[in-house]
Amino acid sequence: MQIININNSYHYETENLLRVFFPEEKFRCTESAEEGEDYCIFETHGSKIKIELFLSGEKLSDEKCFCTESREEGEAVESFLERKGAVMLFDLLCAYTSYTPPWGILTGVRPAKLMTKLMSSLGEKKAVDYFINELKVSEEKTALALMVAKNEAPLMAVNTEKSHSLYVSIPFCPSRCSYCSFISHSNESAKKLMPSYVEKLCEEIKTTGDIAKKLGLTLESIYMGGGTPTALTAELLKKVTDTISESFPVSSVREYTIEAGRPDSVTDEKLEVIKSCGATRISINPQTFSDDVLKAIGRNHTSQMTVDAFLQAREKGFDNINMDLIAGLPTDTVENYESTLRRALSFSPYILSLLSVRQPS
């Protein structure tokens, strides 16, 4: 499907929202619509928004002018129009597909963070109304976001104005999973970029450490994700962790996590690097314990390799291991998912994160 954004740069939000309705679709951004192919036009002129969709020969459109004065306090005009346009697109897509996504126009990964922010500026009642009426989130999911935000509150309260966290991204993976929207490259296509990426990353870590020191900031947590940090060689991974240790007061952080998500990237050597740098939390993510589903999503490992990597990490002394499972993966079934869930529980991971993707209808 072609995506055409006119007078705005909302491609990312447009594509992510379309992807919720058409999870299998391939999207490309173009300047103008080519005839015969499905397209979505998101056009803005001042405070006027026009959405036009051409889907399987059917044209749908909506046009509205918004009073930018009615935006929430602190909300930039750009974000206001992006949100209003997303709602127009959402309504057209719901009507066309007869499907109403429970998270409304939200496509990010931290709805509770947004709920916390809104609660602090608007208060709980208005934040809840905003989720339901302005972001189109269902009442059930709004209640969930509220519950998570409230549970997180005591942890957030420990932070001070000087608190900060460090996120280090390693955008490489052994292979690309079919459902993934993170920025990452497969080892096969980008292996030769790893040394120079790590070089630049270490420079940035050092500079960030200097700035944090100058500002007198307190480091609360470190999270190395991506991608898959253990897609790096043990030597490159050590270079990154050594640079973090030289640049930040690692021993006083409350949590230090390194994702070892893909079992096909876990080795004894890399686990030792993680252990010796002071990281206490890792994740080893089965996603599913069905070998057929693993193959269908583009993962080059078996479920047995997940079990082996998990036990290997336990043997190395890691007791805080997270496992991610995903419901709704291509070719998966309810029975398969149930057996995946039971198998994951049998390992008693410290945290079991349950995620879901929507299967194409």
180 CB-near residues (< 8 Å, 6+ apart): 173
**Binder of ligand SF4 out of 83, 84, 136, 262 (CB under 6 A):** 262
Q: Under the criterion CB under 6 A, does residue 142 sit at the interface with ligand SF4?
A: no
Q: Under the criterion CB under 6 A, does residue 145 sit at the interface with ligand SF4?
A: no
| Minimum distance of ligand SF4 from residue 265's CB (angstroms) | 9
Q: Under the criterion CB under 6 A, does residue 20 sit at the interface with ligand SF4?
A: no
**Binder of ligand SF4 out of 209, 229, 261, 349 (CB under 6 A):** 261
Q: Under the criterion CB under 6 A, does residue 51 sit at the interface with ligand SF4?
A: no
| Minimum distance of ligand SF4 from residue 325's CB (angstroms) | 13
CA distances from 172 to 16, 19, 132, 232, 334 (A): 21, 23, 37, 8, 31
Residues 332, 296: Cα–Cα separation, whole Å: 9
| Minimum distance of ligand SF4 from residue 328's CB (angstroms) | 14
**Binder of ligand SF4 out of 228, 230, 290, 322 (CB under 6 A):** 228
Place of tokens 């990010």: 108
Closer residue to ligand SF4, CB minimum distance, 243 or 287: 287
Residues 339, 290: Cα–Cα separation, whole Å: 9
For residue 227, is the peptide bond before it cis, meaning its omega torsion is within 30 degrees of 0?
Answer: yes
Closer residue to ligand SF4, CB minimum distance, 135 or 173: 173
The answer to whether 264 and 300 are in contact (CB under 8 A) is yes
- Which span sits near ligand SF4 by CB under 6 A: 171-179, 209-217, 238-246, 305-313? 171-179
What Rg value do the Cα atoms of the chain yield, rounded? 22
Work out whether strand 48-55 and strand 58-65 pair parallel, antiparallel, or are unpaired.
Answer: antiparallel
| Minimum distance of ligand SF4 from residue 270's CB (angstroms) | 15
**Binder of ligand SF4 out of 85, 104, 209, 227 (CB under 6 A):** 227
Nearest alpha-carbon partner for 139 in 126, 128, 127: 128
Q: Under the criterion CB under 6 A, does residue 286 sit at the interface with ligand SF4?
A: no
Closer residue to ligand SF4, CB minimum distance, 119 or 305: 305
Residues 101, 20: Cα–Cα separation, whole Å: 8
Residues 351, 155: Cα–Cα separation, whole Å: 17
Q: Under the criterion CB under 6 A, does residue 44 sit at the interface with ligand SF4?
A: no
| Minimum distance of ligand SF4 from residue 54's CB (angstroms) | 31
Helix, strand, coil abundance in the chain, percent, nearest 5: 45, 20, 30
Judged by CB under 6 A, the chain residues 173 through 202 that form the site for ligand SF4 are 173, 176-177, 180, 182, 184
| Minimum distance of ligand SF4 from residue 185's CB (angstroms) | 9
Quote the tokens at residue 12: 């990312």
The answer to whether 268 and 210 are in contact (CB under 8 A) is no
| Minimum distance of ligand SF4 from residue 256's CB (angstroms) | 20
| Minimum distance of ligand SF4 from residue 274's CB (angstroms) | 17
Work out whether strand 39-45 and strand 2-6 pair parallel, antiparallel, or are unpaired.
Answer: parallel
State the residues that interact with ligand SF4 by CB under 6 A.
173, 176-177, 180, 182, 184, 226-228, 261-262
